[in-house]
A and B are shown apart, each in its own frame.
Chain A
Amino acid sequence: MNTVQSTETETQPSPSAQPLLALNGFTKSFGAVEALKDVDFDLHAGEVVGLVGDNGAGKSTLIKAIAGVQPPDSGEARFEGRPVRLHSPQDATALGIATVYQDLALAENLDVVANLYLGQEVANGTPGIDVLDEVAMEQKSMELLGSLGVTTLRSVRTEVAMLSGGQRQAVAIARSLLGEPKVVLLDEPTAALGIVQTRQILELIDRLRKRGLGVVVISHNLADVFQVADRIAVLRLGRMAATFDKAGSREEEIVAAITGAEFGREERPTEETPL
């Protein structure tokens, strides 16, 4: 694939494999504002797709549509080839789509184990009273974090309030994996992180890929996206402006696609809009 400069949205990196998630013609309006216009999007297992675009390009709207938080007005979704509904967060969760939001949603007063298992605590089957099985939760937490290479925590019993931004992000990502998802959506995972912490989170995303998950990373930071993504999808003004294979594409091309300058590949192969 490394000879391809930029692939159109229909092109798949490995044509033999069926996409894990395929969106077709997603459109969403808020009043007069068209946040998404006829967006197609594919995601394969074991693939990291960077979703980039300027503010207001529709990145968050697309993520929310996939997560079922904000269903699109029109468009169809296929998961592992089957047509599926993504009308509620429960729909998405049931399919195996997990979302890590930018604001993390951790309870700072609870320790790492309690946060990982928040809302899905392991409890013993005492009739009437659910007594927490802390030993099982702690063991599995250490296994999970260990398998993700999260090694900077002094103890999984540390309160989240005491953790650094990167550690919190790692905990939030690890939590999304407890439900054994097939797709993980990460909203700005490296925002507000230092250099070392960013590197650790990117390594963590790499491990998600190696586990065979499909990962979508929203980011403003092209350098980060370049480091971790296999493909980069560019949204501009609600349209899928272009999709690039990382190998063989240059950062300037992507910037151009984001801003709509001369290097940009226009929206769809069929609608070549002259600039």
Chain B
Amino acid sequence: MRAVDTPAGFEAETTEFSVGEMLRRLARGELGSVRVIVAIAVIWTIFQIANDRFLSAINLTNLTLQIAAVATISIGVVLILLLGEIDLSVGAVSGLAAGVMAVLSVKEGWSPELAIVAALVVGASIGLLQGFFITAFGLPSFVVTLAGLLAWPGFLLLVLGETGTVPLPPSTITDLTGTFFDPAVGWAIAIAVVAVYVFTVLRGRARRARAGLSVPPLVQALIAPALVAAGAFAAVAILNEDRGVPLAVVIVIALTAVFSFITERTRFGRHIFAVGGNAEAARRAGIRVNWVRMSVFVLGSTLAAFGGVLAASRLLAVNQQSGGEEVLLFAIAGPVIAGTSLFGGRGFVWSALLGAIVIGSISNGMDLLGLESDIKFIITGGVLLAAVTIDAATRLRREPT
């Protein structure tokens, strides 16, 4: 930090826009999401060169459906990581919740909608239970959720009973990942999203300007909306070439947007960051630290349960392997790869989606190349290690001098 000792008041933030400044900020890790997008571009280029079907409309559509479940679970993981905690049970919870849903709707004859609600209630209850042990007894979340990682798959076996696998007939449940929008509807959604985003950015800028606060130049303020617009329109164009924009994609993006808003713009979200940054400071400032922790664990497990619903919907069944180890590893690795810190207080909800795209692309691309799962795991592990190393290295550059 360059401390400028002037009595004149605050300097305006350096808002000069230049490529050099952008690169410097990139190197300092301030543009975390841009770095991930660059990484995705590199990964896609490599796989496209290796197999020209990778960037085909049908494969990219499949990719979005493959990552929907993990991206949803990762949203909850981001919230928990922001707190400075960890939840190792998210995969197991997703499996158990899906199992409950499948048994209730198929064997017990519940309506699919009610069965989905039941799955979410199971998730929320597990979050409440685990959160209770963590906050009331001061146990490390690592241990409590490790116990969950061991126990919940046992409950899944119990729930599934003799049959082991419960196939899901066509219903609202399978429609979650089996519905595709008309091309026109897809375009309408993309245009609406971009319009709302641009409107929000411009309105926020206008409010700051009216209040006499520093505002970035218009060009700079519109870089992010322009990138989002380009991405959204390209995605819709590609998805429309195949079956159309999947409902699951809209759900995942909507969930991400909602939780991004909650964390960045609301009092509750601010308190999550505060607890993750300095729990003692938060407590002294009058924040109900344990209430925040409980709420986040409930949200995390509920999102994990909904991820399980999406995974079952895509697989058209729930079996004993539902929510297995890969789900947990991918759901935690994704946000970390995309720049959410494992140590609490730093991160952003969109890292859930971006990380899922990175990991999903690697997994999908290696499937296309016909690689065995041993190689897949090794490479995915290497990517995670590289991402965390880059993150740590860039963080060093941000330390005060």
Contacts and interface: CB of A to CB of B under 8 A. Distances in A.
Contact of A155 (B10, B262, B285): B10
Given A132-B270, A139-B211, A154 B285 contact: no
B24 interface: no
A158 B8 contact: no
Contacts of B207: 135
B4 to A, nearest CB: 6
Interface in A114-161: 114, 118-121, 123, 129-132, 135-136, 138-139, 142, 145-146, 149, 151-158, 161
A163 B398 CA distance: 11
Contacts of B208: 135, 138
A111 B400 CA distance: 14
Interface residues of chain A: helix, strand, loop or mixed (majority): loop
B212 interface: yes
Interface string A90-112: 00000000000100111111100
Q: How large is the interface on B (under 10, 10 to 19, 20 to 34, 35 or more residues)?
A: 35 or more
Contact of B286 (A109, A119, A136, A167): A119
A152 B6 CA distance: 7
A162 interface: yes
B291 to A, nearest CB: 13
A154 B400 contact: no
A131 B262 CA distance: 8
Contact of B284 (A105, A123, A163): A105
A22 to B, nearest CB: 26
A152 B4 contact: yes
B1 A118 contact: no
B398 A162 contact: yes
A74 interface: no
Interface in B238-272: 262, 265-268, 270
A178 to B, nearest CB: 11
Contacts of B2: 154
A105 B281 contact: yes
A221 interface: no
B210 to A, nearest CB: 8
A129 B400 contact: no
Closest 4 CB pairs of A and B: A119-B285, A109-B345, A107-B277, A109-B277
29 contacts: A107-B277, A108-B277, A109-B344, A109-B345, A110-B277, A110-B345, A114-B273, A118-B281, A120-B285, A120-B286, A123-B266, A130-B266, A130-B267, A131-B265, A132-B270, A139-B213, A142-B10, A146-B10, A149-B7, A151-B5, A151-B6, A151-B8, A151-B9, A152-B3, A152-B5, A154-B10, A162-B1, A162-B398, A164-B400
